[in-house]
């Protein structure tokens, strides 16, 4: 019997490979109850939300969750994973009226750099329990 321990969240994939022509039994055990999704904040970015301008990377951070999102850090990592710049968001309200809620942060970048392969990430310290973290990281092209 193989035992995997993993933290699951909505929309996160499971890295399981099933052998052919064999039955597979999966037993799931709740380690501890978490907050329901309707009680969680969620921040997100997409490739369209990131603009490289002279001296900075502008990031449009969206509030997508059911409750207000606390202030968090947004970082820019180089190709080695080292944080080269960061900025903090302010508290963002949940989009209760179906209109988009967002803020823009600027990540200063010194000198002329080729930012291809750099990564923008929301809440790298994972301080906020979100609906999903799948929309928190974008690699620059």
Confidence check: pLDDT of 109 > 80? yes
pLDDT-derived band at 12 (thresholds 50, 70, 90) equals confident
**In sequence order, what are the residues at sequence separation of 6 or more whose Cβ sits closer than 8 angstroms to the Cβ of residue 89?**
43, 61, 69, 71, 72, 73, 74, 103, 105
Contacts of 105 (CB under 8 A, 6+ apart): 58, 59, 61, 74, 87, 88, 89
Q: Which residues have a Cβ under 8 Å from the Cβ of 75 and sit 6 or more positions away? A: 83, 85, 86, 107, 120, 121, 124
15-57, pLDDT tens digit by residue? 788 899 999 888 888 888 888 989 999 999 999 999 999 999 9
**Domains located in the chain, CATH noted:** 38-139 (2.60.40.10)
Confidence of residue 10 (pLDDT cuts 50, 70, 90): low
């Amino acid at each position: 019997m193989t035992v995997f321990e993993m933290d699951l969240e909505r929309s996160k994939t499971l890295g399981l490979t099933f052998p052919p022509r064999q039955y597979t039994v999966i037993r799931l055990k709740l380690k501890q109850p978490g907050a329901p999704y309707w009680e969680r904040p969620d921040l997100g970015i997409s490739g369209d939300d990131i603009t490289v301008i002279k001296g900075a990377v502008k990031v449009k951070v969206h509030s997508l969750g059911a409750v207000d999102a606390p202030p968090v850090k947004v970082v820019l990592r180089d190709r080695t994973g080292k944080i080269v710049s960061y900025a903090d968001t302010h508290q963002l309200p949940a989009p209760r009226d179906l209109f988009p809620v967002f803020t823009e942060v600027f990540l200063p970048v010194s000198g002329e750099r080729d930012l291809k392969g750099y990564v923008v990430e929301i809440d790298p310290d994972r301080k906020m329990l979100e609906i999903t973290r799948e929309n928190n990281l974008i690699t620059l092209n």
